């Protein structure tokens, strides 16, 4: 791989929503040629980011970022956000085993 092709160029940094949408597109790609399509999507994303942003995104993707908030605090905030009991949120976490999934379900449930 030619790493020069993913180094930042002079472009506006992507928003968090832009990054999320591209990552969703990457997750949806499948079938023949999917590896190359995913690489091209990542290259297009990285080309709009500076090296600090790329480093941070990669650490987030590989689970190496510490945000300073414990899971318990995040789950408590989720219960307040969704206006449900903490025990219900903790039960959901016990069943789903992923804080992100719990937050998504809490946001989507009326």
How much is the pLDDT for 7? Answer: 52
How much is the pLDDT for 21? Answer: 92
- How many CB atoms within 10 Å of residue 18? 13
Model-level pTM? 0.53
How much is the pLDDT for 96? Answer: 92
Q: 14: which 2 tokens?
A: 């992507």
Say if CB 1 and CB 40 are below 8 A apart. Answer: no
The whole-number mean pLDDT for each consecutive block of 10 residues of the chain, a chain of 110 residues, reads: 52 87 94 94 91 87 72 89 91 90 85
In whole angstroms, what is the distance from residue 48 CA to residue 15 CA? 10
Q: How many whole angstroms from its chain centre is CA 29?
A: 16
Domain ranges of the chain: 3-61, 71-108
């Amino acid at each position: 791989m030619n790493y020069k092709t993913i180094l930042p160029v002079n472009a506006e940094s992507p928003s968090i929503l832009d990054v999320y949408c591209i990552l969703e597109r990457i997750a949806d790609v499948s079938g023949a040629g999917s590896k190359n399509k995913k690489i091209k999507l990542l290259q297009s994303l990285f080309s709009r980011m500076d090296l600090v942003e790329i480093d941070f995104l990669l650490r987030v993707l590989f689970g190496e970022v510490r945000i300073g908030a414990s899971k318990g605090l995040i789950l408590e905030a989720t219960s307040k956000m969704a206006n449900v009991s903490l025990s219900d949120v903790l039960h959901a976490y016990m069943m789903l085993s992923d804080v992100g999934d719990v937050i998504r379900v809490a946001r989507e449930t009326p």
